[in-house]
Amino acid sequence: MKACPDCRNLMSESASFCMRCGWSDELQRLRVEVERLKFPRSEVRWFAERMETRLRVNDYTRQWKEKSFDYLLERLFEEAFELEKSGEEPGEAIDDAADVANFAMMIADNTRVALAEKETADER
């Protein structure tokens, strides 16, 4: 006997279908495929939420728009140094990694805006 992965119903060892909840090998295969096709993938969605939480905690919201590339890169390196030190406190590593990612996001966002403005200027 084995247990259904979904409802824990006991099924025979050879069964590929659960009589109670409808779980099947094919359903399982499709779920794995759906998860694979999700964009962005679950790890990225989870990390993006961590980044947003850190933005709110640190009150950086939108303030990066006026900051220079050099300033933001310097802050990214500072956060990367904190991440390196967080090795002893795994709980802090997640927040520190999100802080590093946030400064990378800010640099990318400012670059995106600058490129869009340049494109608009070139069209004139």
Using CB under 5 A as the criterion, which residues of the chain lie in contact with Zn ion when the complex forms? 4, 6-7, 9, 18, 20-21, 23
* CA gap 89, 13 in Å, rounded: 44
Cβ atoms of residues 98 and 50 within 8 Å? yes
Token reading at 83: 């991440």
CB of 111 to Zn ion, least distance (A): 50
CB of 29 to Zn ion, least distance (A): 16
Nearer to Zn ion, 18 or 72 (CB): 18
CB of 27 to Zn ion, least distance (A): 10
Nearer to Zn ion, 4 or 76 (CB): 4
In one letter, which amino acid is 111?
T
Nearer to Zn ion, 9 or 110 (CB): 9
Question: Which residues, including other chains, have CB under 8 Å from residue 64's CB and lie 6 or more apart?
Answer: 72, 106, 109, 110
